[in-house]
Amino acid sequence: MKTSHPRHGEYMVNKELNLLEEIRLFRGLTRSELDEVRERIAIKRFKKNETILREEDTNKYMYVILKGRVRAVQATEEGKEIVLGMHSTGEMFGEISLIDKNTVPASVIAATDSLVATISREVFVEWLHSRPKILDNLLDMLCRRFREGMERIRMLNMNNASQRIQMLFMRLIRDYGERQNEGYLLKIKLTHNEIANMTGLTRETVTRIIKRWKSEGMLLMKGGAFVVRDALVDT
């Protein structure tokens, strides 16, 4: 019978602890506190396009993305998918439903292969009462989420399609941008269809605008990711 080497188990524990250290919700916790957190969560891998969270389960667990990217979606009566938000490594989702115990009319799907930690409502509530640092981090993240929601409403109220996409890119620069000589490299790969769903536009409109920006030198591609030039940022 094959037995696992003790060092392999130790390696996996350290790897999980290193991942937890990068999570915003757990910032400021000591290594021993993170080890206690690790003991109370379940970690699961999801393949690209696999459903992580269905509407009927939204008040049972919250989720923390250890690695990867997911999208929160809502289906219209016509069957069109509307992207409510994108979450990537270090972020969480499902926490609001744990607080108010209501479900959310949305599902969450893995946009890439992802490693996700699941936290039950009982554990989450216990942490909020016993770990002030987690509560502080949560409040900070919820305020950030609220501001993003206000920005999204403002973006969707814009009649000009180019302005909608530009505003989306400005938000992506803030969250995923890396300054380079050519401009801001977005460390997140998005398809034209995903951009369309996030801005309330058609894919054809998004493709037309992005093609124009590329021809004008305002937008570049690097390794499948967008590079937003200063000319577009300053427009």
> For residues 150 and 139, what is the distance between their CA atoms, to the nearest angstrom?
17
Helical H segments across the chain, by residue range: 6-21, 31-40, 95-100, 121-130, 132-156, 161-176, 192-199, 203-215, 230-233
- Name, in order, each residue with C-beta under 8 angstroms of 67's C-beta and a sequence gap of 6 or more: 19, 89, 114, 115
73-81: average pLDDT: 76
> For residues 4 and 199, what is the distance between their CA atoms, to the nearest angstrom?
49
Give the Cα-Cα-Cα angle 157, 79, 73 (nearest 5 degrees). Answer: 60
Torsion angles phi and psi, residue 90, rounded to 5: 95, -10
* Residue with tokens 């930690």, as numbered in its chain: 117
Q: What is the mean pLDDT of the chain?
A: 87
Torsion angles phi and psi, residue 179, rounded to 5: -70, 125
Residue 80 has pLDDT above 80, yes or no: no
Residue 29 has pLDDT above 60, yes or no: yes
Lowest mean pLDDT among 9-23, 64-78, 98-112, 210-224: 9-23
As a whole-number percent, the residues of the chain with pLDDT over 90 amount to: 49
Q: Which helix (H) or strand (E) is 23 found in, with range?
A: none
Say which amino acid occupies 21. E
CB 95 within 8 A of CB 145: no
pTM score, whole prediction: 0.74
C-alpha neighbours within 13 Å on the C-beta side of residue 132: 0
114-126: average pLDDT: 93
Q: Among 80, 75, 74, 69, which Cα is nearest to 201's?
A: 80
Torsion angles phi and psi, residue 190, rounded to 5: -125, 140
